[in-house]
Structure 1
């Protein structure tokens, strides 16, 4: 009886180990599946976030923020008139109401604080022209800036310290949207690898002498004419040979 009991206990232990192993394997498989799904969701979320950022960038591409435009307008038309008149008076740019899609104040109204004006232009070219001539506003304490999303503004703010350090070292550093672009002081611009092998003729160098070109053309014509003469000579020789053979046959005794 004692031996049977020991065998039964061992059998139970083996069954317990098998069950435990199977349960653990199932848990591991489910965990791997969940981990893979989580990773796929993370990739999808990052992709959607990039797309949303790109869409937001495109929506703000034609926007400008005007700081320092005095408040007091009572209607949308008055605010629009302020923007158009400010641009036309202080810049060498012709801006009409047709060039503006929408204007509005940004933020909550607060006494003693002038809210910026966001302007959306119909064409990107109008925005670029204004940015090139924005120094015309400095005497009026009016400043023009890009309309960046809040996330990009935070990134640019954090990069300002790095920009300062790079410029102190003599390097050129600029912020382009949410990226820092640095050109080292002793860094030479990259050249095209093909430039070492392909050289274009400068404009101040005349083309090859036409005399040589004419001589080459004459040589080519002489060679072609010689080839034709050889060909005609061969054909003439073949015809003469054929006629001689024909005459010889006609003079044989059989034909007489």
Structure 2
């Protein structure tokens, strides 16, 4: 009887060990599944945030494409209309560009008002007018005023970081330039002519092939 009791006790202990092991494995499996679901959800949220940020960056880039930033414009205006007249006077009289009032969507000072003159962001209604402004930016020499593109803060930081690399590339004799937030290689005239000739030849070849196919 004692041996039977000892046998039952040993079996019961083993059953308890097996049960504890099964419970532990079940808990670990559940925890793993929970963490797996959380991880997948986190990845989905990160991807969604990244897509949204890319959309925001794209929209901001499109909006800023119409902007021209003027530096060095004395801050003497008292209201919006006066600032608008000042900027139109600079564009028409100093830069010798005929610009009507309706061609300027908005003008605004950026930054907090301190002792330093704040830049003026001018939003131009047409791309052609903006291109003309940058073509004639040399007319602002000796006026204390200069213009630049309007870049988002993250792009400005990236351009600042690339200045040293750009300088090294230029010193090594490479034809490069800073375009938005990247350093790009400029095509030489010979390369551009060769590319143009190749494209023309390809177009002529395609045209001949089409004619032959049509004849058949």
Q: TM-score range by the shorter chain?
A: 0.7 to 0.9
Q: Is the 8 A contact 1:84 1:97 kept in 2?
A: yes
Q: Which residue of 2 aligns with 1:56?
A: 60
Q: How does 1:160-239 map to 2 (within 5 A)?
A: 160-182=163-185, 191=195, 200=204
TM-score (norm 1): 0.71
Name the SS for the 2:142 alignment partner: helix
For these two proteins, the number of residue pairs brought into alignment is 198
1:138 to 133, 137, 141: 141
Q: Which residue of 1 aligns with 2:35?
A: 31
TM-score (norm 2): 0.83
Shift of 1:10: 0.7
**Which has the higher relative contact order, 1 or 2, with Cα contacts under 8 A spaced 6 or more apart?**
2
Name the SS for the 1:139 alignment partner: coil
Displaced runs of 4 or more, over 2 A: 182-185, 188-192, 197-201
Structure 2 unpaired stretches of 5+? 206-216
In 2: Cα distance, 1:62 partner to 1:173 partner: 25
Shift of 1:40: 0.6
| Larger Rg, first or second structure (1 or 2) | 1
In 2: Cα distance, 1:125 partner to 1:65 partner: 16
Which whole-Å deviations, capped at 9, do the CAs of 1:121-145 have from their partners, x for residues lacking one? 1112211110111111012121101
Measured at CA, do residues 199 and 178 of structure 1 come closer, stay the same or move farther in structure 2, by a change above 3 Å? closer
RMSD between aligned alpha carbons?
Answer: 2.5
Measured at CA, do residues 67 and 107 of structure 1 come closer, stay the same or move farther in structure 2, by a change above 3 Å? same
In 2: Cα distance, 1:18 partner to 1:105 partner: 69
